[in-house]
Amino acid sequence: LMAGIFVSGGTYSGSGDVTTEFFVCHAVASTVFLPDGTMTVTGESSGYESNYAFTLNSSYTTLDNQSGTLKITSPDDPYVGFTATSDKYVYNVICSGSTIMHPKSAGCTIENDLTIDAGQFWSRQAGMIKDLTVSGNVLINSGTLQAHEANDVSPATCSFGSLTIETGGTYG
């Protein structure tokens, strides 16, 4: 397990499989090459940008996802943010934490597949509706993909290549 990764300018370049406590790219000009294998995030950040398992919410960040996978296993209630300026987004995302994952950005785009193995992945945060686009497949093995709640004035706009909900999964 690597301690958390905090990128504040410069370049981060990962390869193979990487396990880290958190990944935070600060709001300055940075270039991020995510690993071409799996980046497993096991916790969340503390301090200035606290409670993030993973974030690339800076308009200054250039991202190359290298067709890798981001796997979030944090047992806490982390925020995630996937937006970068290069028109490239995280490629595959696997949520297997035991609690809620909140996309904390203007919306969330995943370039390929989203898999939920446990916990909940919300496309909203603090009552604000967030759109969700998954260009590939969404597979809910167990857990919940929560796109809206009953009292929402309007639901989030969700777009998927396909949606498969297994016996232990829920889409709401």
Q: Quote the distance between the C-alpha of residue 151 and its chain's center.
A: 25
Reported pTM = 0.90
d(CA 148, CA 22) in angstroms, rounded, equals: 27
Residues 62-98 pLDDT 10s: 888 999 999 999 887 787 877 655 566 889 999 988 6
Neighbours of 70 (CB within 10 A): 23
Residues 13-22 pLDDT 10s: 999 999 999 9
d(CA 27, CA 139) in angstroms, rounded, equals: 32
Report whether pLDDT(110) > 80. Answer: yes
Tokens at 152, concatenated: 């929402």
The whole-chain average pLDDT of the chain stands at 84
